[in-house]
Homo-oligomer: A and B are copies of this chain.
Amino acid sequence: MNLQQLRYICAVERQGLSISLAAASLHTSQPGVSKQIHLLEEELGVRIFERSGKRLIGVTAPGRIILAQAKEVLRDVQNIKQVGTEFTNEITGSLSIATTHTQARYTLPKAIKKFTQRYPQVNLHIHQGNPTQIAAMVEQGEADIGIATEALARHQGLVVLPCYQWNRCVVAPPGHPVLKEKPLTLKALARYPIVTYDFAFAGRSLINQAFEAKGLKPNIVLTALDSDVIKTYVELGLGVGLLARMAFEPARDKNLRMVDAAHLFAASTTYIAVRRGMFLRGYWYAFIELFAPHLTRAAVDKALQTPSPL
């Protein structure tokens, strides 16, 4: 067995069970890949891929396990290479962040700006997704760091660090009657059509819980995947918006008025997550600290439970 063979089987799976595509993606010849896979299967004594004659049509039961382990191996190998570059070249590399719209749009920019100034040679990638996708991306090694409010903590393979707490607010066009409800109550809110986040997002379950606890049924007329869509429809007069406090910017949102709703719903916590056992480049720590100043390198290392031997 060698690393190349593991790369080959992973590529074949990734390319939809095509040896030709896998070979192309790895810039090598198709017969080479074919042969190495056969050699590996022979050595292990099991077929990894199901075949119909000569075509690959699926993954066998042992193949699924082997592929999962092979990915682990390749990730760790990647980690070892990272260690090399970290110690020879601290300031170059890449950082791939998976996050939600709200974070990407309203809370990350400040940290990103400082980061790119300080590490201009780091290649930064930001992937947008819902919390479940984000957790999966970090767990699979497709993203280095995940930032989201939900779902992260449920994953065993992730180390999750709390960043900050936030509350919700209600927005409406100027003159809307909800703005005169003082103090604003859930009961009052339930009388208006509501525009808020999709269920997969940002503590949406907390919103439902708060209404349910009072025996109220909110009239949710539109659920969106991001704060900007919510604001757009509120401006159109579709209803009152219920969104993250940090997503309201008085300077920009001149067509809207905001009422704090911190007293109506439980606060949500935004977390940052990295894969357990991952080697963290120095600038990863730097980014985390820029985003959440209390998460110093020491604090992160402690949470990783495997104190960095640096």
Contacts and interface: CB of A to CB of B under 8 A. Distances in A.
Contacts of A45: 84-85, 87-89
A45 B277 CA distance: 22
Interface in A107-137: none
A287 B166 CA distance: 49
B80 A69 contact: yes
Contact of A81 (B1, B279, B305): B1
A69 B65 contact: no
B73 A76 contact: yes
A53 interface: no
B76 A69 contact: yes
A310 interface: yes
Given A3-B2, A69-B79, A156-B276, A84 B310 contact: no
A62 B308 CA distance: 10
This chain's copy number in the assembly: 2
Nearest to A78: B69
Contact of A83 (B44, B80, B84, B310): B44
A46 interface: yes
Nearest to A155: B305
Nearest to A43: B84
A64 interface: yes
Contact of A46 (B72, B83, B279, B308): B83
Q: What secondary structure prevails in chain A residues at the interface with B?
A: helix
Contacts of A308: 65
Interface residues of A, number: 39
Interface in A79-102: 79-81, 83-89
Contacts of A89: 45
Contacts of A64: 309
Interface in A51-80: 61-62, 64-66, 68-70, 72-73, 76-77, 79-80
9 contacts: A1-B81, A2-B2, A65-B279, A68-B306, A68-B309, A70-B76, A70-B80, A73-B73, A73-B76
Given A3-B3, A66-B80, A69-B77, 15 more contacts: A44-B80, A45-B84, A45-B89, A46-B84, A62-B83, A62-B84, A65-B308, A65-B309, A68-B306, A69-B83, A69-B279, A73-B80, A76-B76, A156-B276, A156-B305
